Chains A and B, each alone.
Chain A
Amino acid sequence: MPFRKNVKQTNIYGLSISFVSSGRAPLLFLVLYSSLSCVLSLISRRMWGLARQRVGFGNFSSPILGQVLQRIRPLGSVLPKNYSTAAKEMTVREALNSALDEEMSADPKVFLMGEEVGEYQGAYKISKGLLEKYGPERVLDTPITEAGFAGIGVGAAYYGLRPVVEFMTFNFSMQAIDHIINSAAKTNYMSAGQISVPIVFRGPNGAAAGVGAQHSQCYAAWYAHVPGLKVLSPYSSEDARGLLKAAIRDPDPVVFLENELLYGESFPIPAEVLDSSFCLPIGKAKIERQGKHVTITAFSKMVGYALQAAEILSKEGIDAEIINLRSIRPLDKATINASVRKTNRLVTVEEGFPQHGVGAEICMSVIEDSFEYLDAPVERIAGADVPMPYAANLERMAVPQVDDIIRAAKRACYRSVPMAAAA
C-alpha cells in the first residue's frame, strides 16, 4: 500500500507529523482515503510482489548477502499508475509558495529573509502573497548584503528562530559562504551540540537561459562537500513541497537548491501531497522509473532530461532505471547501490562542472560498495568544464542534453552485452 507506506515512512524518520491523526485533513477526506487504502492495499501488495519478482534478487553467491540485500529494496515509489483519485497539477513555484506559507503559518518562529522577497513578491515570485499575509516582521526585504543577512539569519537561528534565507541565485551565496559553512554548518560540532542552527538557505541553482557565466554555476558539489550541512535538490512539485517542508522543520542547516527553469513547470501530484503535514524524508532518493538495464542518477532539472532519455532508450530495448537523488547530502548510497547491483551499469548525470562533482562521489561510492556488480565503467555526464558561455548554441553545448544521456547509457550498455536494437 504505497501511500500509507509513504506516510508511515515519514513517521519512522522521526518527523513529528502524523498524516492519519492530523486534525487538518477534513474528515470526509479521511473516510474516503481509508476506504480507498483498504482496496489498494490488496492491489499493490500484489504489484509489489510482482515487482520484486521482476527485479530478481537471485544472483548472489551467498544467501546471507542475499538476505541483506533484500532489505536494501529501494523504498518509495512502486506507484500504481491506475490510482483512481484525479491527480491535481501544480507548478514548482506553487509548491514552494504553499510550503512556505504552510510552514510559516504553523510555526511563528519561521520567517523569510532575502532580496525582493516582500514587496516584489519574490525575485521569481516564489514568495508571492506572503508579505501581505504575514507582515513585514516575518517577510523581510533586505539590503543587498548577502554576507550580512546570511549571518543575521545564522545569529537568529542560534538564538531560537527558524529563518529561511533566500539567495536570489546561489551564485550570490558565494558572498555569504563563510556564514553558510563556518558559522552555520560547523557550529553544532564546534559547540558540541549546544547550539544547533535550524536555518534554510534556498534559491535557484545551476544554469538558467542565457544568463552568462556568473549566474549559471551549480553549487551542489561545493555545499555537499561540507559536513554539517544538508543539501537538497528537488525536481518535481512533490519534491519541492515535501523537501522544503522537511528542510524548514529540520534542526540543522539545509541548503535547498532549486532550479529557475523548473519553477514554471507543472507536475501532477497525488492528493496527499497537498496535506499541510506532508513531508519527505531527507536522505532518501526516489526511483522515478524502474528499469533493469542501466541506472541513471540525476537531480533537479536533469531528472526531467533523464526521464525523456529513458523513454527514447526504451524504444531501443534499453530499460533505464532513473533515480532522482533528491538529497545530495546525505547521499542515498543505499538506493544507488541497490539499483546498480540490479542493473550492473551506472550513468551519473549532473549539470555542474565535472571535476570533483556529484557524479564523482556517486561513482566512488559504487566502487566501494558494489564493484563486483559493475559490468561496465561508470559513465559520468556533467556540464562542460568551462564557465558558462553566453551564446545560445554554446550554452546548449555546455549543459548536458537528452542526447548526451542517451549516448552515455548506450555506451554503458554496449560494453559487454550486445544490444539487438539498432540505433
Chain B
Amino acid sequence: MSAFSAVKSLSTPTITTRSTPSSNPKPSFPFPFPSPASAGAGSLRHSAAIRLNSSSPSPLRAVSSHVLSDEQRVTSPSNHDKALVTRREALDLYEDMALGRSFEDMCAQMYYRGKMFGFVHLYNGQEAVSTGFIRLLQPGDAVVSTYRDHVHALSKGVPARAVMAELFGKTTGCCRGQGGSMHMFSAPHNFLGGFAFIGEGIPVATGAAFSSRYRHEVLKEASPSGGLDVTLAFFGDGTCNNGQFFECLNMAQLWKLPIVFVVENNLWAIGMSHLRATSDPVIWKKGPAFGMPGVPVDGMDVLKVREVAKEAIERARSGEGPTLVECETYRFRGHSLADPDELRKPDEKAHYTARDPILALKKYILEHDLASESELKGIEKKVDDVIEDAVEFADASPFPPRSQLLENVFADPKGFGVGPDGKYRCEDPKFTEGTAQV
C-alpha cells in the first residue's frame, strides 16, 4: 500500500534500460556502447564506452580489476553547433569545478603541513558530478553525501571559509569544529551531512524526500520551487552492494519519493575494485529492478551530467518518483590522504586524467566562444584568492573553548538531566563553563 493517496500503483518508467545496439559484436559491462542518437525517450546520452575483458566473472576465479583493455575509445564532449549552456551557466560551472579542485588541492597541502588531521577524503576528478547536479538545485532542495563531502558542500553554497575552518577543527567551522571532514552539516543550505558509514546517507536522504512529500501533501505547504523539494543522495560504487541501498530503492519507488540516487562510480572502494566486489557491476540496471529508471552517464563530462540531472530532478520535482543515475567517474587521488593508492594501474589513472572534467569544460567554452582564455584565468585567480582567504581565516580562528565540549548534545538544554544538587544541570553556570563535574 502506498503511503500517498495520489499514487496507487507503480507506473511503468518512461526511461527504460538501454539495450546494447546490435551493431556491436558482444555485450560488455559495466558501461554499454553509446547509441548514435538518443533513442526516443528523452535527451539522455550514453557515457563513453569502455570495453572490458569479456570474460564473465565466476565466483571461483579471480576477477581482474583491469578496467581498460587495448581497445579504448575515448570520446570528447560532442561538438555541437549550438552550445548546450549559456555563457553565464558555463562560467558558473567552471568556477564551481575550479573551486572544488583548488579547495581539495589545498586540503592536501594543509594535511601534509599538519593543519588538518584524521580522515580526509578528496574529490579530485569527480567535480563534474557535484557541479553538474548540485548547481541545478533550488535553495529548498537537500543534498546528502558521504565522507567525501567537501565539494558537495561547496557546490551547495556552504562558504569555503566555513568548510576550511571545520577541517582545521576551529570553532568558526560550519559545525563549530565538532563534525570534521566527514560530517559537514549546514542547515541553512539544506546540506544534511556528511556520513562516515557508507550507505548511511541513503536512508537519510530517502527520509528527507519523504519529508518533502509529506509537507506538500499532508501539511499542504507549498514549496517556492513550484513542485516538490528534491533530495539528492550521493554515494559510491561500493555502497551499491549494501543492503540499505536496496531497501531505499524499494521504498523510494514504492512511495514515489522526490529523490535522485546519484552513484559516483569511481570503480574503486579503497583498494577493492568494483568488478571484484559485485556480481553484476552494471549499477544503473538495478533501478528498473525496483521499477524506477536507471540511467548511466559519463561523469567526467559536466555537460552530459547536467543534461541527465535536469531530467532526473524535474521528474522528482513533478512527483513522478525517483531515478537512479550512475556516473562513471574517477578519483585522481587515493581513497583518502592516508591511502598509498598502490593497487590502481598507472594506465588507468592516465586514461582518466586525460578526461579531466575541468580541462574538458575549458576546451568546450573556448571552442564555443563562450568566454575568453583570460576570463577563465580570471576565474581561476578569483578561486585561488577565495581559497587563500579561507586558509587564512581558518588559521586565524580560535580552537573551540573547553566549555564547548558538552554543548549541543541535545537540542533540549535540559537533556543533561538533573545534577547532584537537584537542579537541572543546564542551569548550573559551571556546567557550561566546563568546570563542573559531569
Contacts and interface: CB of A to CB of B under 8 A. Distances in A.
Nearest to B185: A191
A195 B219 contact: no
Contacts of B2: 136
A329 to B, nearest CB: 8
B222 to A, nearest CB: 15
B247 interface: yes
Contacts of A188: 408-411
A138 B210 CA distance: 11
Interface residues of A, number: 71
Contacts of B193: 158, 183, 187, 190-191, 195
Given A159-B192, A183-B200, A192-B178, A143 B254 contact: yes
Given A156-B214, A161-B211, A195-B187, A72 B175 contact: no
Interface string B163-185: 00000000000111111000101
B5 A192 contact: no
Given A14-B414, A190-B183, A137 B204 contact: no
Interface string A314-333: 00000000000001011111
Interface stretch (A146-154, A232-240, A261-269, A375-383): A146-154
B419 A334 contact: yes
A341 to B, nearest CB: 11
Contacts of B176: 192-193
Interface string A115-156: 000110000000000000001111011110101111111111
Interface string A219-246: 0000000011010000000000000000
Nearest to A227: B409
Given A190-B185, A227-B409, A252-B415, A152 B214 contact: no
Interface in B46-102: none
Interface string B393-430: 00000000000000111111011111111101000000
Given A145-B250, A148-B248, A190-B175, A137 B218 contact: yes
Contact of B417 (A143, A198, A283): A283
B431 to A, nearest CB: 13
Interface in A319-367: 327, 329-335, 337-338
B224 to A, nearest CB: 15
B249 to A, nearest CB: 9
Contacts of A5: none
B204 A111 contact: no
Interface in B172-220: 174-179, 183, 185-188, 190, 192-197, 200, 202-212, 214-215, 217-219
Given A193-B411, A252-B411, A183 B1 contact: no
Contact of A138 (B144, B218, B407, B409): B218
Contacts of A108: 218-219
Nearest to A192: B176
A271 to B, nearest CB: 27
Contact of A140 (B3, B190, B411, B416): B3
B122 interface: no
B412 A143 contact: no
Nearest to A338: B422
A157 B1 contact: no
A152 B410 contact: no
B5 A136 contact: yes
B217 to A, nearest CB: 6
Contacts of A187: 185, 193
Interface residues of B, number: 65
B290 to A, nearest CB: 12
Given A136-B1, A137-B218, A155 B192 contact: yes
A138 B214 CA distance: 9
B169 to A, nearest CB: 12
Contacts of A337: 420
A333 B207 contact: no
A224 B156 CA distance: 36
B214 A283 contact: no
A150 B248 CA distance: 11
A365 to B, nearest CB: 9
B408 A192 contact: yes
B434 to A, nearest CB: 15
Contact of A159 (B142, B186, B217, B422): B142
B175 A156 contact: no
Interface centre among B144, B202, B415 (most CB of A within 10 A): B415
Given A138-B218, A333-B418, A152 B251 contact: yes
B208 A158 contact: yes
A160 B215 contact: yes
A193 B409 CA distance: 8
Contact of B411 (A161, A196, A283): A196
Given A136-B2, A155-B211, A147 B243 contact: yes
A137 B243 CA distance: 25
A195 B185 contact: yes
A147 B178 contact: no
Given A189-B408, A190-B175, A190-B183, A150 B203 contact: yes
B254 A159 contact: no
A337 B202 CA distance: 44
B251 A148 contact: yes
Nearest to A138: B218
Nearest to B210: A156
- Determine which residue in A13, A191, A198, A228 has the highest number of CB atoms from chain B within 10 A of its CB, and name it: A191
A141 B4 CA distance: 12
A422 to B, nearest CB: 39
A179 interface: yes
B244 interface: yes
B1 A118 contact: yes
A355 B214 CA distance: 43
Contacts of B202: 151
B409 A330 contact: no
Contacts of A252: 410-412, 415
A385 B158 CA distance: 51
A194 interface: yes
Contacts of B5: 135-137
23 contacts: A72-B421, A137-B218, A143-B250, A148-B203, A149-B247, A151-B244, A154-B207, A156-B207, A157-B207, A159-B142, A159-B190, A159-B192, A161-B211, A183-B204, A187-B193, A188-B411, A190-B193, A190-B194, A191-B183, A193-B408, A195-B187, A327-B417, A334-B418
Given A118-B1, A329-B417, 12 more contacts: A145-B247, A148-B248, A149-B251, A154-B204, A158-B204, A159-B208, A160-B211, A182-B195, A183-B193, A192-B176, A284-B418, A334-B420
Interface of B: 1-5, 142, 144, 174-179, 183, 185-188, 190, 192-197, 200, 202-212, 214-215, 217-219, 243-244, 247-248, 250-251, 254, 407-412, 414-422, 424
Interface of A: 13-14, 68, 71-73, 108-109, 111, 118-119, 135-138, 140-143, 145, 147-161, 178-179, 182-183, 187-198, 227-228, 230, 250-252, 282-284, 327, 329-335, 337-338, 369
